[in-house]
Amino acid sequence: MKTGLSYIFPVRLKEFRTKLNGLLEINLVNGKAQLDSADSNYSFGSLQKILLRGLEEIKFSNEKNILLLGLGAGSIIHTIRKDYSSSAHITAIEIDAEMIQIANDYFKLNEFSNLTIIEEDAFWYVRNAKNTFDLIIVDIFIGDKIPEVFTQETFLSNLADLMNPNAHLIYNTIHQSMPRDLFQDMLSNLNKNQIKTHVLKNLQQSNDLIIGRK
């Protein structure tokens, strides 16, 4: 019955309140579960379509080592494993332990192999990491806003250092909550660090994806 109703309007299945992300909801929409905050879709739903568009743009295929900053419920991992049948190793960094638990318990993330989930602040992980990657996906939000530290030159420079030659970057932003001057500064800083960028604008009427290539 709930599944049928979800094609008419969202059906709330579960509600959580985490220390870092506040109120989160698992909602059934068009027969599929998705994770939402009060301000935006956190996983599955429109976000999954947005990040899929990023993978299509870079022609995702042979990447072997992937870094995901900001786990949510792990919808992009489902996309990589199921839509692309990729067995690439994925390292996912998530600061919110309760978010990791939600992803495992309700979205079966722990059923995937070749996946390492690390509970850590993404800023410090990027600063201290020794590994390098073929693809880095940045999807870090509190509500609909990116914490300022992840838009600054130090973080973006450290991010560039983790990219292999010819590696790609997919950086998700929300247009309305990202000041335009800050967005342009981010592009300038990435270009300064030898990452060539272009932007996919207004995806799902809300998001701009920065696409980068080392």
Average pLDDT score, the chain? 90
Q: Per-residue pLDDT for 16 more than 90? A: no
Kindly list the structural domains of the chain, giving each domain's residue range(s) and its CATH number in brackets, ordered by start.
41-213 (3.40.50.150)
Residue 1 has pLDDT above 50, yes or no: no
Region of poorest pLDDT, from 24-28, 56-60, 92-96, 204-208: 24-28
Q: What is d(CA 91, CA 114) in angstroms, rounded to the nearest whole number? A: 9
Q: How many CB atoms lie within 10 A of CB 71?
A: 27
What tokens appear for 142 in the block? 């509190």
Q: Mean pLDDT across the stretch 85-96?
A: 96
Contact present, 206 and 46 (Cβ < 8 Å): yes
Residue pLDDT, tens place only, 36-46: 777 777 666 78
Phi, psi (rounded to 5 degrees) for 210? -85, 125
* 30 DSSP β-pair partners: none
Cα 40 to Cα 21, 77, 90, 144, 153, distances in angstroms: 12, 19, 25, 6, 26
* DSSP codes of every residue in 132-179: -EEEEEE---BTTB--GGGGSHHHHHHHHHTEEEEEEEEEEEETTTS-
Question: Are the beta carbons of 145 and 111 closer than 8 angstroms?
Answer: no
DSSP state of 113: S
Q: 112 in helix, strand or coil?
A: coil
Q: Does the reported pTM lie above 0.85?
A: yes
Q: Specify whether the CB–CB gap between 172 and 205 falls below 8 A.
A: no
pLDDT in tens, 149-182: 999 999 999 999 999 999 999 999 999 999 999 9
What pLDDT sits at residue 3?
61
Report whether 42 contacts 172 (CB < 8 A). no
